[in-house]
């Protein structure tokens, strides 16, 4: 997922004014692994510019890093609803598939540990 943050930096130019400032700060903190701080800035960027595909996408990536998988899926879906290009669509759907696999794997681990008691 850190590779995907680079895409967000490239997209910074497409955000107006204050949203771009919040987005840029979010990208900086994300790259430094400061995910809670990045989350705060990406939430601000989404609030300032709700139609920003880049802001929703980076917020989704940040939620993923924080293991807030339901929030991550919500933001990937928000990104998809904004009709991104095929590359971004593939990133979003791939990330959601990865999350669903993680959730299934975790559910299987819990189920198998319950039966071993």
Q: How many domains, the chain?
A: 1
Q: Of 1, 15, 107, 90, which Cα lies nearest the Cα of 24? A: 15
DSSP 83: -
With 0.85 as the threshold, say if the pTM is over it. Answer: no
Domain housing 64: 2-115
Residue 110 has pLDDT above 50, yes or no: yes
Phi-psi region of 33 (alpha: psi -120 to 50; beta: other; left: phi over 0): left
CATH code (residue 47): 1.25.40.10
CB of 30 within 8 A of CB of 5?
yes
Q: What is the mean pLDDT of the chain?
A: 86
| Interior angle at CA 103, CA 97 and CA 104, nearest 5 | 90
Residue 115 has pLDDT above 90, yes or no: no
Residue range 54-104, pLDDT digits in tens: 999 999 999 999 999 999 999 999 999 999 999 999 999 999 999 999 988
Residue range 53-67, pLDDT digits in tens: 999 999 999 999 999
Local confidence band at 12 (pLDDT 50, 70, 90 cut-offs): very low
């Amino acid at each position: 997922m850190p590779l995907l943050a680079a895409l967000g930096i490239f997209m910074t130019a497409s955000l107006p004014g204050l949203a771009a400032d919040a987005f840029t700060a979010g990208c900086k903190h994300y790259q430094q692994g400061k995910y809670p701080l990045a989350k705060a800035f990406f939430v601000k960027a989404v609030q300032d510019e709700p139609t920003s595909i880049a802001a929703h996408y980076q917020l989704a990536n940040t939620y993923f890093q924080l293991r807030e998988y339901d929030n991550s899926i919500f933001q990937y879906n928000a990104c998809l609803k904004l009709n991104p290009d095929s590359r971004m669509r593939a990133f979003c759907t791939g990330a959601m598939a990865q999350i669903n696999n993680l959730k299934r794997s975790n559910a299987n681990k819990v189920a198998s540990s319950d039966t071993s008691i």
